[in-house]
Amino acid sequence: MNLQKNNSLPKQVGLLALTWPIFIEMFLHMLMGSTDTFMLSHISDEAVAAVGVANQLVFFMILVFGFVATGTAVLVSQNLGAGLQVDARKISGLSLSLNLIFGVLVSVIVVGFNDLFLQMFNLTPEIHRLAQQYLTIVGGTLFTQALLVTASAILRANGLTKEAMFISIIMNVIHLAGNSLFIYGLFGVPEMGVQGVAISTAISRAIAVILIFRLLYRRLPMRIALEDYLNFNKSFIKKILKIGVPSAGENVVYNTSQMAITVIIGLLGAMALTTRVYTFNIMSFMMLFGIAIGQGTQILIGYKVGAREFDKAYHQLLKSLKLSIIITMAITVVIVAIREPILGIFTDNKDIIREGSKVLLLCLLLEPGRTFNIVVISSLRAAGDAVFPVKMAFVSMWGISVPLAYFLGIYLGYGLSGIWIAFIIDEWFRGIIMYIRWRSRVWEKKVLVDERVQTA
């Protein structure tokens, strides 16, 4: 049997070496969304609100792809940590096939039922019309995103975080160029507004898929074979789902709770919805480093638990968490200090700037709790302990965040500030519980790779 190890595997790479390309990649992904918001703000606040609401549905649908991609990342890293490269290759091919199937199904559902989905948000007729235009195009091409997230997860699990970053750079350049053409009508191209942003998004993702598959065949230690795409190994599927389904379940709980809270915000009016879009765009940069550290730590811990180095995995999380909190707070303080000028980039509406400034100030309390969740949950998942976080997510988000958001924001009349206080309580409650879970070391019994034996 082949237990040969590759010296380029991320087990030999430090956290920061893995994390900085992930940080830049995530920054570029978030920048793409902020670029849409900024460019659309030159058209109207209605266009911003429409794309913001539509993207909530898009992100929710992408969660279906996430459960395969997340399970794949954990399973590939654990197998590589155990020296099982052939199994890692087979899992990679299988996961790409699974997500392509899911991607086509989701694309059909979004195109066929987008009007019904949008009716949940109590939108004005104009915002509803624009959101439907966006969903028809972006939703219809979601299968490309399914392939993209899976291929990116495979590259990262193999330690190829720089390669995934370069794909993001190229995709964002194409997206920015497309936005410029379709929104501003450069070089005689018709001005298409929201539809133009959707077309630009679809094209940039399609090109990124082509490029990332070229990388998969050039850089992986073992090239994925044709039979790997067609071999639906039940044992591998079961292990992918064991991690992926709870992980997706956690994200589903989060996104459904956020959609419920968006409905609550909708009761405050169109201005509150637009304020939410602007502030969430800015907040995404506050939690950016926490997400990058979480993903880098997930790779390292997957390798360490696959190799049965439990003490190293345990202390890796503690070091990663400390670093993440320090840097996240530094970023948050800087952004909060200049929050009004930043909001002024997106809009000149003084009411939106005033309300957005209030909720961004509350992020000084929100972001440390969120960082606990991001980093610790990623580490629990990497060790195979994926069910506990989703249970706590349901209890906290639907038992605390949603009802408290309505109580504070609507019933007591605190508006968006009350809703943000509900976010703070939810994040800190879950963060503390997750940290206690890690300290208990129950996750050591959840590892997916039991034997250092290659499958036939």
Query: In order along the chain (456 residues), what is the average pLDDT of each group of 10 residues?
Result: 42 72 79 71 78 79 79 85 83 90 89 83 82 87 90 86 86 87 79 83 91 87 82 85 81 84 87 85 83 86 86 91 90 91 85 89 92 90 87 92 93 91 94 92 80 46
Residue 165 structure tokens: 């970053």
Query: 3-state DSSP call for residue 222?
Result: coil
Per-residue CA distances from 176 to 183, 395, 444 (Å): 10, 40, 45
pLDDT attached to residue 2:
39
* Residue/partner pairs of 208-213 with CB below 8 Å, 24 or more apart: 208/144, 208/148, 208/167, 208/168, 208/170, 208/171, 208/174, 209/144, 209/147, 209/148, 209/151, 211/167, 211/170, 212/147, 212/148, 212/151, 212/152, 212/155, 212/164, 212/167, 213/147, 213/151
Which residues fall within 8 angstroms of residue 436, CB to CB, at 6 or more apart? none
Query: 3-state DSSP call for residue 69?
Result: helix
pLDDT attached to residue 425:
95
Number of Cβ within 10 Å of residue 129's Cβ equals 14
pLDDT attached to residue 427:
93
DSSP 41: T
pLDDT attached to residue 450:
62
C-beta separation of 315 from 258 below 8 A: no
Domain residue ranges in the chain: 13-443
Q: Is 232 exposed, middle or buried (0-12, 13-18, 19+ CB in 10 A)?
A: exposed
Tell me the C-alpha distance between 200 and 130, whole Å: 16
pLDDT attached to residue 190:
79
Unique residue bearing structure tokens 């019904």: 116
Residue 128 structure tokens: 């509803």
What is the pTM (predicted TM-score) of this model? 0.73
pLDDT attached to residue 1:
34
Tell me the C-alpha distance between 13 and 156, whole Å: 12
